[in-house]
Chain A
Amino acid sequence: MTTMERPVLPKLIGARVKRREDPRLIRGRATYVDDIKLPGMLHLAFKRSDVAHGRITRIDTSAAEAMPGVVAIFTGRDLMALPGATRPVGARGTYAAKIGAGLPPMPIGTPFPSPAHYAIAPEVARYVGEPVAVVVAEDRYLARDAADAIVVEYEELPAVVDPELAMQGQPTVIHEGFPNNLALPYVPMGTGVDPATGAVDNSAIDRAFAEAEVVISQRMVNHRVAPNAMEPRGVVAHWDAGKEFLTIWSATQNPHILKSMVAAVLGLGEHQVRAIAPEVGGGFGCKINIYGEEYVAAALSRILERPVKWIEDRSEAFMATIHGRDLICYLDLAARRDGRILGVKMRLIADIGAYNMLLTAAIPTLTMLMASGTYDIPAIRCELTEVFTNKTPTDAYRGAGRPEATYFLERGIDMLARELGLDPAEVRRRNFIPKEKFPFTTQTGAVYDSGDYEKALNRALELAKWDELIAERDRMRAEGRLVGVGMAFYVEVCGLGPSSSLPTGGWEHASVTVERDGRIRATTGASPHGQGNETTFAQMLADLFGVPIEHITIEHGDTAVVRQGIGTFGSRSQAVGGAALMMAGEKVRKKMAKFAAALMDANEEDLVFENGMIYVKGSPTTGKSFAEVARYAYIPVPLPPGLEPGLSEEAFFEPPNNTYPFGAHICMLEIDRETGEPRLLKFFAVDDCGNVINPLIVEGQVHGGLAQGIGQALFEEVVYGPDGQLLTGSFMDYALPRATDFPWFELDRTVTPTPVNPLGAKGVGEAGTLGSTPAVVNAAVDALAEFGVKHIDMPLRPEKLWRIIHGRAQA
Chain B
Amino acid sequence: MSDLVPISITVNGRKYELEVEPRLLLVHLLREKLLLTGTHVGCDTSQCGACTVLLDGRSAKSCTVFAVQADGSEVVTIEGLERDGQLHPVQEGFWEEHGLQCGYCTPGMILSVVDLLNENPNPSEAEIRAGIAGNFCRCTGYQHIVKAAQYAAQRLRG
Contacts and interface: CB of A to CB of B under 8 A. Distances in A.
B59 interface: no
Given A28-B36, A314-B42, A731-B48, A742 B142 contact: yes
Given A696-B98, A744-B143, A28 B38 contact: yes
A731 B105 CA distance: 15
Contacts of B40: 32, 34, 230-231, 281
A364 to B, nearest CB: 24
Given A28-B38, A700-B139, A281 B98 contact: no
B17 interface: no
A645 B45 CA distance: 58
B31, B130, B142, B146 — which one has the most chain A CB atoms within 10 A of its CB? B142
B11 interface: no
B82 interface: yes
A110 interface: no
A738 B140 CA distance: 11
B72 interface: no
Interface stretch (A319-327, A526-534, A652-660): A526-534
Interface in B97-143: 98, 100-107, 110, 125-126, 128-130, 132-133, 135-143
B112 to A, nearest CB: 10
A35 interface: yes
25 contacts: A19-B95, A19-B98, A26-B103, A26-B106, A26-B107, A27-B38, A27-B82, A29-B79, A229-B104, A230-B105, A230-B139, A281-B103, A282-B138, A315-B44, A697-B98, A700-B140, A703-B143, A704-B140, A730-B43, A739-B132, A739-B133, A742-B129, A744-B125, A745-B141, A768-B141
B102 A29 contact: no
Contacts of B77: 28
Contacts of B36: 28
Nearest to B38: A28
Interface string A244-284: 00000000000000000000000000000000000111101
Contact of B37 (A28, A315, A705): A28
Nearest to B35: A37
Nearest to B50: A230
B138 A28 contact: no
A230 B137 contact: yes
Nearest to B37: A35
A665 to B, nearest CB: 13
Nearest to B142: A739
A708 interface: yes
A738 B136 contact: yes
B62 interface: no
Nearest to B95: A22
B87 interface: yes
B31, B106, B126, B143 — which one has the most chain A CB atoms within 10 A of its CB? B143
Q: Chain A, interface size: which category? A: 35 or more
A314 B105 CA distance: 14
| Chain B at the A interface: SS class | loop
Interface of B: 21, 23-24, 31, 36-45, 47-48, 50, 77-79, 81-82, 87, 91, 94-96, 98, 100-107, 110, 125-126, 128-130, 132-133, 135-146
A438 to B, nearest CB: 31
Nearest to A313: B44
B79 A28 contact: yes
B47 A732 contact: yes
A696 B100 CA distance: 11
Nearest to A35: B37
Given A230-B136, A739-B146, A742-B141, 18 more contacts: A27-B81, A28-B36, A28-B37, A141-B23, A141-B24, A229-B102, A230-B137, A231-B42, A231-B104, A279-B103, A530-B101, A530-B102, A703-B141, A704-B101, A730-B47, A736-B48, A739-B145, A740-B133
B44 A282 contact: no
A305 interface: no
B102 A231 contact: yes
Given A141-B23, A703-B143, A739-B132, A25 B44 contact: no
Contacts of B143: 703, 742, 744-745
B124 to A, nearest CB: 12
Contacts of A736: 47-48, 136, 138
Contact of A30 (B103, B130, B132, B133): B103
Contact of B141 (A23, A281, A704): A704
A31 interface: yes
A487 to B, nearest CB: 19
B45 A314 contact: yes
A731 B37 contact: no
A605 to B, nearest CB: 39
A533 B31 CA distance: 28
B45 A27 contact: no
A230 B78 contact: no
